[in-house]
A and B are shown apart, each in its own frame.
Chain A
Amino acid sequence: MGRGPRIGVFVCHCGKNIATTVDVPRVVEALARHPGVAYAARHEYMCSDPGQDVVKKAIKDHRLTGVVVAACSPSMHETTFRNAAEEAGLNPYLVEIANIREWCSWVHDGPVTTDKAIRITRAMVEKVKGNHPLEPVEVGHAVKCLVVGGGISGIQAALDIADAGYEVLLVERSPSIGGRMAQLSETFPTLDCSQCILTPKMVEASRHPRIRLLTYSEVESVTGYLGNYHVTIRKKPTYVDPDKCNLCGDCARVCPVRVPSEFDQGLSERAAIYVPFPQAVPSSYTLDEVNCLGLNPLRCSECSKVCTVGAINYDMREERIEEDVGAIVLATGYDLYGKEMMGEYGHGTVPDVIDGLEFERILSAGGPTKGEVRRPSDGKVPKEVVFIQCSGSRDPELHKSYCSKICCMYTAKHALLYRHNVHDGTAYVFYIDIRAGGKEYEEFVVRAMEDERILYLRGKVAKVFRDGDKVVVWGVDTLTGKRIEVAADLVVLAQAMVPSAGTEELARKLHIACGGEGFLKEAHPKLRPLEALTAGIFLAGAAHGPKDIPEAVAQGSGAAAKAIAILASPTLTHSPEVAEVDEDLCSGCAVCVPQCPYGAITPGDVAHVNELLCEGCGTCVAACPSGAMRMKNQTDAQVKRMIQVALGGEPVEVSRG
């Protein structure tokens, strides 16, 4: 006989589940007469071992070139039958399931049910006739991971990956790792000291034999794809040898420059040579060349004169580090929405209107006021403090439409810590509503409200302005409808959380998307919250959206687990049922390129699909005007044959039961 298709059709009774409404012997009979079907059989339970044996035996005995199992939904047993076929020597991608249970026997009655079962099965036979044997795509990969952002989330991810036995490059753009958590005083809901729980993790990361810490560094470019990313990192010169620096601080004392300290949110000053905070990791000074009086030519060189250990080296140059990594974790964190954006609250020009991070610094023992609550303008202890929640959040007309999620909690913490600090002080909190969804969070807020006698006022603040040495707050208590005016000494704005500066630029370098508000976008809002759309890139922490520390840590660990799954597999495998370009037909028009949500298509003289990145959605196939883009094992020709047969046209007319 010729080389035409020899399809085997196996119809399942599923006990009574199919056989009650579908005349199974008739289906077998009809399919046996269908062109290209070499063998048709039925079984009580096709998925049982004896049922599978029927399939396996027929594959061998009848030299089948394809198999259709007419049974339950493919979500149940597609894998079962594909594996069985493979054991019998038939390529698994030549096996398809015709769903005659969920889509037929369970929902219809009467002879039409059998008719429909025949149509579904025949259509599937047509598909299998056009299927080709496929092999899973396999490629090797690098076994290193890049983590961008050294906040708590990135530190956690780096530690987990390194503990699992893989090399990590931890890239942090500021002189120290630690992120925002290093700036916090005490943390809700337990009020443990932020530095005390963070510092051990920072040190662990810096000492880990498999973590290479690249601070004062940024990602310059990324090329490649899942498993095989090539990254270039630019490390700025610090002009201080971290191995020699002993943190004596003599250099900073002689440096004539004073600029606002980033770490203290501008509430204190630092020299041009500085260490952001005493526990910084790496523990070394950094010479900030932007603010230095001049290095080329040297204009001052006071620091090097006093450095007794010779740690200062003005000849240090920028380094470029190139590495191949298998996976990337992005943990670039957040900034606060600028106070200058808040016209209604004085545009950031009133010194005693501060944001949450400034207040954290004021509350910190190592901060500009040594932990005593004193206001910035005149250093007085404020007796009346107004905290304004949702400042810039949940305000689609003027500011950000989203909820920043953590401000309810840290405002309760701020008010409570203020009361612990200033016993005769009064704290007011303006809020829209309280969102304290977290373990022991509600209890924490209730404690602040009740035990600490903090005045919670439900309502919005219309205006904040300076009046002599007071800051006047006009608001409305929406519960009583009363207008409220407080002549406060200090106002703390719970500013919206926004993605850290440069997030979009970084996303562009990696060809991944940011959502409308600029936070890094996940592959699926429910099912793939840790992954970027581009395979092999994972998201962690506040870079992905407002988050508190426990969530940032959990997501860091989650992203690490995802990255480890890549690093740990001997090779990367991927379903071969993907799109491919027929180079003879492709005109290079690139219409397909923007269709792909995964950036799997590279334009050129002819388009190219990266089969490791393609998820097989087929959107590009439907868009190609030249018919050049094809879906493997689901070509247009196959689907058209399915349509024709489903509708009972040729090759065999379907009798109505």
Chain B
Amino acid sequence: MAEAPFEPKIVAFLCRWCAGAGADLAGTSRIAYPSNAVPIRVNCSGRVEPEWVMEAFRSGADGVLIGGCHPGDCHYVSGNYKTRRRVYLLRKVLAEMGIEPERVRLEWVSATEGAKYARVMKEFVAELKKLGPLSLERKEKEPTAAPVLPRVGS
């Protein structure tokens, strides 16, 4: 029997005000998209910690999506700018660890962009399928090599 095709596992951190509401709208508008992601709602994308992304990878995620408000639209004014900076640094750390930085995706989705949320999800799933499953054991072999994760303040 043929092996089941690879279905990437994704955790999606969505801010309550924009990306989360955009995902709500995708629902109300019945725009279908792949079910690979389990969404977790946060108040602001600025709440998302790099450590959560690592935890997701350790727990078997192949990709992590962070969804926030468009620049200038963050409900808390500037949280998303901090997220942007943090994700930029996190991607560098991931690359050093041998994890493809594309496995962390940051997207701005407004509350009116249900279609965009669905599109992002489709694209991300397709991209992760190309990358294949993440094997973290291989990458986190040395127990001392705990990555130094970036912080917003730094």
Contact = CB atoms under 8 A, between A and B. Distances in A.
A636 B49 contact: yes
A619 B28 contact: no
A183 to B, nearest CB: 35
A73 interface: yes
A594 B49 CA distance: 17
B31 A619 contact: no
A634 B49 CA distance: 12
A228 interface: no
Interface stretch (B54-62, B91-99, B100-108, B139-147): B54-62
B49 A622 contact: yes
Given A106-B30, A618-B46, A643 B79 contact: no
Contacts of A643: 11, 40, 52, 55-56, 59, 61
A108 B118 CA distance: 11
A107 B30 contact: yes
Interface in A585-639: 591-592, 594-595, 597, 615-619, 621-625, 631, 634, 636, 639
Contacts of B28: 102, 106
Contacts of B33: 107-108
Interface string A472-512: 00000000000000000000000000000000000000000
A120 B46 contact: no
B153 interface: yes
A619 B79 contact: yes
Contacts of A112: 35
A646 interface: yes
Contacts of B86: 622
Given A74-B41, A524-B77, A634-B42, A107 B32 contact: yes
Contacts of A591: 151, 153-154
A622 B151 contact: yes
A533 B138 CA distance: 47
Contact of A119 (B30, B38, B76): B38
A109 B32 contact: yes
A525 interface: yes
A103 B72 contact: no
Residue among B30, B33, B79, B152 facing the most chain A CB atoms (10 A cut-off): B152
Nearest to A116: B35
Given A617-B79, A625-B151, A643-B55, A631 B24 contact: no
A586 B118 CA distance: 41
A134 interface: no
A619 B23 contact: no
Given A107-B31, A591-B153, A617 B55 contact: no
B26 A647 contact: no
A103 B39 contact: yes
A642 interface: yes
A357 interface: no
A331 B48 CA distance: 38
Interface in B3-40: 9, 11, 21, 23-28, 30-35, 38-40
A619 B76 contact: yes
Contacts of A119: 38
Nearest to B49: A622
A640 interface: yes
Given A102-B24, A648-B60, A617 B153 contact: no
Q: Which among B38, B42, B52, B79 has the highest number of chain A CB atoms within 10 Å? A: B38
Nearest to A627: B51
Contacts of B72: 525
Given A101-B27, A102-B23, A107-B31, A618 B42 contact: yes
A643 B56 CA distance: 6
Contact of B27 (A102, A109, A526, A592): A102
A190 interface: no
Interface in A88-122: 99, 101-104, 106-109, 112-113, 115-116, 119-120
Nearest to B33: A107
Contacts of B116: none
Contacts of B26: 102, 107
Nearest to B47: A618
B120 interface: no
B112 interface: no
B153 A640 contact: no
Given A102-B28, A107-B30, A636-B51, A116 B38 contact: yes
B84 interface: no
Contacts of A639: 40, 49, 52, 55
A597 B44 CA distance: 13
Given A107-B32, A623-B153, A617 B27 contact: no
A168 interface: no
Contacts of A647: 9, 11, 38, 56, 59-61
Contacts of A523: 77
A603 B30 CA distance: 48
A133 interface: no
A256 interface: no
A618 B60 contact: no
Contacts of B60: 647-649
A123 interface: yes
A102 B30 CA distance: 8
Contacts of B39: 99, 103, 120
Contacts of B21: 75
B44 A617 contact: yes
Given A523-B77, A625-B151, A625-B153, A619 B44 contact: yes
Contacts of A313: none
A80 interface: no
B107 to A, nearest CB: 16
A523 B9 CA distance: 38
B153 to A, nearest CB: 4
Given A107-B26, A595-B153, A615-B76, A649 B49 contact: no
Central interface residue in A103, A594, A617, A631, by most chain B CB within 10 Å: A617
Contact of B47 (A107, A108, A621): A621
A592 B76 contact: no
B75 interface: yes
A370 to B, nearest CB: 50
A647 B72 CA distance: 32
A648 B61 CA distance: 10
A48 interface: no
A569 interface: no
Contact of A623 (B24, B43, B118, B152): B152
Q: Nearest 4 pairs between A and B by C-beta?
A: A102-B27, A618-B47, A619-B46, A591-B153
16 contacts: A75-B21, A104-B35, A107-B32, A107-B33, A107-B118, A113-B35, A123-B40, A594-B153, A597-B79, A619-B46, A623-B153, A625-B154, A634-B47, A643-B40, A643-B52, A643-B61
Interface of B: 9, 11, 21, 23-28, 30-35, 38-44, 46-49, 51-52, 55-56, 59-61, 72-73, 75-79, 82, 86, 118, 151-154
Given A102-B25, A597-B78, A617-B44, 8 more contacts: A108-B35, A109-B32, A525-B72, A622-B86, A624-B153, A625-B151, A634-B42, A646-B38
